Each structure stands twice: as structure tokens, then as C-alpha cells.
Amino acid sequence: MFNTRAWWQFWLVVWALGVMFAINNSLTVTADLSRNGVPFKAWQPYAWEFSSLFSFWLLYFGVFAWHRRWPLLHRNWPRHVLWHLLASVVFSIGHVVLMVLMRHGIYWALGDSYDFGQWGLELWYEYRKDVVTYFVFVLILATYGHYLAQQNNGKLTETEQRIQVKNKHGVFWLEHDDIITVESGGNYVYFQTPDRVLSNRGTMAQVAQSLDPKRFLRVHRSFIVNLSHVQKLHKNAKESTELCLKNGQVVPVSKKYRADLLAALSL
């Protein structure tokens, strides 16, 4: 389950720490420039540090969404690390572009001009710092997410172990163990159980957040399966894979989800 309150607290702490570091770095830069006799204006170190902070802050939300798609603590972690390495490049470029734009705006407003320097050299210099910042933040996300998951696993109530299905026939509560597959169709999702199929208005993403990730896995754009009901994996051709379930149902497997499925089944 997604603990909204806990994540709001997380973002508040990240913001508070970011402001503290920005102020401390501004004071440090001010002291270093003064000690070395470098001419500067009193507001410049604060413009540099806070433009960097605001850029990071905006990009962190994208990193958060990316980490939810490619979590670091995962069975297929080498592949996920690769995706994060590629994302760190985009993260750094975004940080530099936003930061420079903000600095140009601040300097212009104060009647001055800003020069970033040679873009090629500066981008490489910034990336060497940004890649560390990126992975530190991702590791914090992974650690905090794991902590919340452990807390939730120890405090699951009877209601949280079930999922509510509401349609024109009434309101139903399904035990996770009774759900074989979830299939999407238009604006509805369909829950397959041993004795019936129940429809519910919603999306696959919403359903995925309500199910136990240790037991349920998305294998196709239109299917989520309960791994305990899997019988075998059948490969029709090089690019065609199907999942055969114990009830005789056959579910297609997309290439996008195949690696995660194989890793889950190997456990």
C-alpha cells in the first residue's frame, strides 16, 4: 500500500535538508572567495546554491517516478541499475539547463549578467557531481521504501489483505489468494477468481498498488497474474510467450515484462 502521509513527510525532510545544505554551502563559498581575494557580490553564492537546489528539487519528482518504475531493490537489479545510469545523464543535463536558466534570470533581475563557461567542460564537471547526487537520492528512496514496506507487512489488517470490488451488483471483498488474474478492458478491470469474474471501474496501475507485489506481477499491458496460480511458461515463437495457469487459462506475456517474470519464477 502507498503510504501518502509517510511520503509527504519524506519530501518535507528532503526539502529541509536541501535548504540547510544550500545555506551552509553559500556561507562556505562566501568564506572561500573572501579568503582567496576573489571579487564577488554578496548575493552571488546564494544565487548559485539555491538555483542548484531548486533544480534538483524539481527533478527529484521525476527520479521518484522513475524509481517506482525501475526500483533499485529488485530481483532484476542489474537491468534496473542500467536504466538509472541512463537516467542520471538526463538528470544532470536537466539540472544544468534549469540551473543556468534560473541564474540568468536572477542576474538579469539584479542588473548583472551570468556566464556559465564552456558547456562541454562544464557539463562533464557537473555530471561527475550529479551522478553521485542521483544515486544517493535513489538509494535513500530505495531504503525508505523498503522500510515502509517492512512496516506495512508487519501491520497488515484484515481489510488491507483484501481488495474491494464495487460494481452495479454490489460491493465485494476479495482475498488476495482468491484472485487468479486481473485483466483490463476499457475503463474497467476484471478480477478472475476460481468461481466468478468481477468487474470494477479503474486502472491496472490502481489495482497494482492494492495487491501484494510479492505475489502478483504484471506480465502484459492488460494482465496481472497471481504467481501462485502459474503452471508453466510456454514459448510459441522467438517473440511470443504465454503463461499457462492451473485453471487452464492462458495469458500472453509481453516482451517488456518477460525478464521480471522469469526472475520471479526462478525464485
Report the pLDDT averaged over residues 152-173. 70
Contact 249, 242 (CB under 8 A): no
Amino acid at 26: S
Contact 89, 123 (CB under 8 A): no
Grid cell 502507498 in the structure block, residue: 2
- CATH number of this structure's domain 162-266, picked from the four choices 3.30.559.10, 2.40.160.20, 2.60.40.10, 2.40.50.1020: 2.40.50.1020
Report whether pLDDT(53) > 90: yes
Q: What band does 264 get if pLDDT is binned at 50, 70 and 90?
A: confident
Within the chain, residue ranges assigned H as helices are 4-35, 44-69, 77-109, 119-153, 204-210, 255-266
106-121 pLDDT, tens digit each: 999 999 999 999 998 9
- Cα dihedral across residues 83, 50, 121, 128: positive or negative: negative
29-52 pLDDT, tens digit each: 999 999 999 999 999 999 999 999
What confidence score (pLDDT) does residue 213 get?
A: 80
163-184 pLDDT, tens digit each: 888 888 888 888 888 899 999 9
Range 143-147 contact pairs with CB under 8 angstroms and sequence separation of 24 or more: 144/10, 145/67, 145/71, 145/73, 146/73
What confidence score (pLDDT) does residue 261 get?
A: 85
212-247 pLDDT, tens digit each: 888 899 999 999 999 999 988 877 656 678 889 999
Integer-rounded Cα Rg, in Å, for the chain is 25
Task: Return residue ranges of the chain for CATH 2.40.50.1020.
Answer: 162-266
Report whether pLDDT(158) > 50: no
User: If we measure between CA atoms, which residue out of 204, 221, 212, 205 comes closest to residue 174?
Assistant: 212
Report whether pLDDT(146) > 70: yes
What confidence score (pLDDT) does residue 2 get?
A: 53
**d(C-alpha 258, C-alpha 267), whole Å:** 15
Q: What's the full length of the chain, in residues?
A: 267
192-211 pLDDT, tens digit each: 999 889 999 888 888 887 88
Q: What band does 123 get if pLDDT is binned at 50, 70 and 90?
A: very high
Amino acid at 210: S
Average pLDDT over the chain reads 88
What confidence score (pLDDT) does residue 267 get?
A: 56
Residue 101, C-alpha cell as written in the block: 536558466
